[in-house]
Structure 1
């Protein structure tokens, strides 16, 4: 099968864009990575990204990531990752329901609780611990979040779990999650994407 032409519009410090880079690196896709200058006028700007969106029939927003696969243009990072999985079956989760549940957790409650902890100057909270417990339990009996192989769930959660580990705290009793994160962060398709400096996700 001939691979479709792929272009990713992102920013190396953005965890949402990192989701897409991890996915593309994992499946060893040939792709163009366009670095979007989110706060300046040099390089590829948000205004140019908005033009890409408009030409594709989307309302121009200028948010990253934006993924182009042939003539198909996709926004929202989790949808971009799922679009990569449609193109490359190796990224599909063994347990699709678990993958969907964990991605929803990450984009919803985990984001809310993480933001609240940072704003209050806390390293932990009951709500954040509960989110991390769900992730830890998902790893029972399996090496990856949604099965026996790396998948959409891992690509979507790893950038955020990394930030929690670096800037907040993963409880010591969540040993499955701690072992998983240490192992996955060392995998080449993830390690290559790790930024020297990073943002939170709000």
Structure 2
């Protein structure tokens, strides 16, 4: 398998974590400008040019949740989406929560930083911060039992949670009173497949708009 991805990209992490969880060997093709040939290959396979993109033989897959579902098909163990239908729904729902209600909202704040002072939109930033506070509170209640995102072990939901919470906490720190959520983030960062993704991204932290915090 070949993964077109970037070490600092949150969604690249999500796919990489799943591949590492399953112990699947793959060729990592870094699409950083340092490797222009990889970007050309990516665009030839997927003209939109977004990553990560997984190539397995003559099959090309994009969108991280689909990539992970495919990995469960080709190597069922350890499962990242439970076989039980109700458990699978629970995992898929949390996957969407982390992608759409944490990562996508956090990106509004990052985009504002990218626009700079001339393009600063306070209303967008304030709305995003309020939305993050709301979802942080909901997640804190959901995670009151400790462990991973669901009772089904490390799953697709955790693959989504790791980069989402890692970067969201950088732009809008999880308040101390959400102790369950903060502890869950810490457990994720200590997990081997997640720790590898974090370490692989360290050389690119200067890319983070406004500068990366001096932690993690």
Shift of 1:23: 0.8
What is the match of residue 3 of structure 1? none
Distance 2:104 2:29 in 1: 29
Q: Secondary structure at 2:31's aligned position in 1?
A: strand
1:91 matched to 2:79? The reply is: yes
Pair 1:61–1:112, CA change in 2 (3 A): closer
**Pairing of 1:124-135 with structure 2 (within 5 A):** 125-135=129-139
What is the match of residue 80 of structure 1? 67
Match of 1:23 among 18, 23, 40: 18
Match of 1:106 among 85, 98, 108: 98
**Pairing of 1:1-202 with structure 2 (within 5 A):** 6-37=1-32, 39=33, 42-53=35-46, 60-89=47-76, 90-94=78-82, 95-118=87-110, 119=112, 120=122, 125-141=129-145, 143-194=147-198, 195-196=201-202, 197=205, 199=208
Distance 2:165 2:171 in 1: 10
Pair 1:168–1:96, CA change in 2 (3 A): same
Count of paired positions: 187
Farther off after superposition, 112-121 or 94-103 = 112-121
TM-score normalised over the length of structure 1: 0.80
Distance 1:132 1:63 in 2: 28
Distance 2:37 2:92 in 1: 33
Q: What's the RMSD between the two structures over aligned residues?
A: 2.5
Distance 2:104 2:28 in 1: 29
Shift of 1:88: 3.0
Q: Structure 2: any 5+ residue segments left out of the alignment?
A: 113-121, 210-216
Pair 1:139–1:85, CA change in 2 (3 A): farther
Task: Specify which structure has the higher proportion of helix.
Answer: 2
Shift of 1:135: 2.4
Q: Structure 1: any 5+ residue segments left out of the alignment?
A: 1-5, 54-59
Distance 1:189 1:182 in 2: 13
Shift of 1:15: 0.6
Distance 1:113 1:154 in 2: 18
